[in-house]
Amino acid sequence: MQIDLDRRGNGSAPVYRQIADHIRREIEAGRLDAGDRLPTIRALARTLNVNRDTVALAYDELVCQGRLEATVGRGTFVRGSPGGASGETRAAALAPRVEALLEFEHTRPRYGAEAGSIPLHALVPDPALYPVAAFRRSVNRAFTSGGAELLRYGDRQGHAGLRELLAGRFRAHGIEVSPDEISLCHGASQGIALALRLFSEPGDAVAVEEPTYHNVLGVLRVLGLEAVPVPMTGHGPDLAVLESVLARPEVKLLYTIPTFHNPMGITTPLAHRRELLAVAARAGKPVVEDAYEMDLRFAGRELPPLAALDAGGLVVHLYSFSKSLFPGARVGSITARGRAVEGLRALCHASDLGGSPLLQAALADFVGRGAYDRHLARLRRTLRSRAQALGDSLAREMPDGVRFTSPEGGYQVWVDLPGGIDTRDLFADALRAGVLFAPGYVFQHDGRASSGLRLTVAQTDEAAIRRGVALLARVVRERLTAGGRASTRASVQL
């Protein structure tokens, strides 16, 4: 396939969009028919002398438009008319909610890149920071002590010893909770799904912050729930909008990340937390508090979680070891009160018969012996240093008008660009330059254009952070220059 590309960058469309537009025109003109197989991503990238991810972005855009369909192991084909077959007859139709989820998945950016690219997009902790040797000793001790019993199905609420330890840690944060009010789950992600199923059913709506954690948007789709956005301010969700949203009868609950918000990195102040709970109490709607990074504060004063301020039993509290330890443990918790505890027990049991008793017992040993707190102390020092490098680099390298947050913990920073830049378009340019970020549209409930982007320090040391920001700043300047806007080296913090 021969495609003429404008690579000058002076106002021309991104290369991936030029490829997508060319294929779309070929389909509309009838030169590509339903069922025609397109070149592989690798082959077309080689022909056009572009990065494979550029072609992947073009194909993904056409899949989302319904022009193409991709099948693992077969390839990418021109799609037939709705309801028709293309290439071969489908054996069975997928459920509409699964189709909606697939459409959502296709809109996500492809982060696979050439070796050497700087991963400022990743929210997976750096494996170099995993306490492998110490955790191995905990696994051995747990297995020696528990033996074959740890290879059976566990308690449907999870390991009693770990729940006891978590209850003590939560009480230190002001959450008055007993071990029986805690259910273990596979990280905060499963906790989100359980909480949504606890309070809503297909056809209901859920209030979410905008921008918000992108995986919760996928969960809402697969559960048949509508996302109702509440815009974020510099202090947290807009409370006036939240009040009007929660007053709607179809909106059953609020999902919020008040501490080290993903993707913004901000922490909601104490007064705002109290007002948020008052709004929820007036509406009589539960609040799902995602505290997945609550152990990662490296600056500022500790603030009580929403669950610690909740006097009416409205808050369901989610916790996870995935970001503070490593994701492979697949252990988190969901804490509730009253009848919700019984509902969670039933949901956990019906969903998967519980998690891994061996890993939960090993975590209990790891936490109980103080190894987890020693690990957190080292991790927080590392995050503080990396966050400082990121903030300094953004202030030094980015052009005038760029704004960014200054988190007190966690991994992520939100950057807002001037000049009407759509960071989805910027993504391909940055990819070619050798740096990865998470474009803002993936955190919007409807995937609309965004001038924001998320950067993280999860998998990059200080030197790589400085190189990555310099590369990204160069790409941003090129975009601003192409748009006819002058730039300087000053930055403004949000």
Across 28-110, where does the E strand assignment appear? 68-71, 75-78
Cα dihedral 56/57/62/66 (nearest 10): 90
Tokens representing residue 350 in the block: 């019906």
Q: What is the DSSP letter of 415?
A: E
CA of residue 167 relative to chain centroid, distance: 26
| Residue whose C-alpha is closest to residue 212's, from 247, 194, 237, 244 | 237
User: Among candidates 421, 373, 475, which has minimal Cα distance to 120?
Assistant: 475
Domains, the chain, in order of start with CATH, read 15-93 (1.10.10.10), 118-123+375-493 (3.90.1150.10), 132-369 (3.40.640.10)
* Gyration radius (Cα) of the chain, Å: 24
Looking at residue 299, the DSSP 8-state letter turns out to be S
Residue 202 sits at the vertex; the CA angle it makes with 198 and 208, to the nearest 5 degrees, is 70
pLDDT at 94: 66
Distances (CA, A) of 425 to 268, 328, 431: 31, 33, 11
Evaluate the CA torsion angle 288, 292, 294, 299 in order and state its sign.
negative
CA 465 to chain centre: 20
244: tokens are 């009007």
Interatomic CA distance for residues 344 and 348, integer angstroms? 6
**Average pLDDT of each block of 10 consecutive residues along the chain (494 residues)?**
72 78 88 88 84 80 81 76 43 66 70 74 93 96 93 88 97 96 89 93 96 94 94 96 98 98 97 98 97 96 96 94 92 92 84 84 97 98 98 97 97 95 91 94 93 96 97 95 51 46
pLDDT confidence of residue 181 = 95
Confidence at residue 112, expressed as pLDDT on a 0 to 100 scale: 59
